[in-house]
Amino acid sequence: MGNFNPLNERVIIPDAEARLHIPNNQFKVVGRGYTFFACDICRRKRIRCDGTRPICDLCKRSNRICCYMEIPSISPEKDTENIDKSLIAIKNTLKTLHSVSNISGTVCY
């Protein structure tokens, strides 16, 4: 067998809710050395972030404040529920507009 290269190690990324209960260093490396989350500064500058928390290596070396944007997780069920509510509201508005246009379109002499 060939030499083991830790950068080629694959890590399974848990779903969003499970990630809340796992220390950040357990899902830092993905695929070929990519980080799952980059800090705001590295993301803005489009440079490689090591994803270390609470402060990444680049921010530590440049003595900057390191911030990670928290991504709100919306469950698919909740998202579908919101879409269904919007669809019902649009249908009700359409019915109202349709009935108003029928009344105003009637001409009596």
Summarised one tens digit per residue, pLDDT across range 17-63 is 444 444 444 444 445 566 678 899 998 999 899 888 889 999 999 99
Structurally, how many domains does the chain consist of? 2
Q: Which helix (H) or strand (E) holds 30?
A: strand 29-30
The reported pLDDT for the residue numbered 84 is 92
Is residue 4 over pLDDT 60?
no
**For 75-95, what is each residue's pLDDT tens digit?**
777 778 889 999 999 999 999
User: 82 with 47, same domain?
Assistant: no
Long-range CB contacts for residues 50-53, cutoff 8 Å, separation at least 24: 51/24, 52/24, 52/25, 52/28, 53/24, 53/25
Higher per-residue confidence, 109 vs 96? 96
6 three-class SS: helix
User: 109 with 83, same domain?
Assistant: yes
Domain presence at residue 20:
yes
Domain presence at residue 46:
yes
Classify residue 21 by its DSSP letter: T
**Separation between Cα atoms, residue 12 and residue 70, nearest integer Å:** 20
The reported pLDDT for the residue numbered 104 is 56
Q: Give the other-Cβ count within 10 Å of 66's Cβ.
A: 19
DSSP secondary structure letters along 31-78: TTTEESS--HHHHHHT------SSS-HHHHHTT-----PPPPP--HHH
Structural domain of residue 105, as residue ranges? 74-109
**Separation between Cα atoms, residue 34 and residue 27, nearest integer Å:** 11
User: 10 with 32, same domain?
Assistant: yes
User: 57 with 80, same domain?
Assistant: no
Domain presence at residue 66:
no
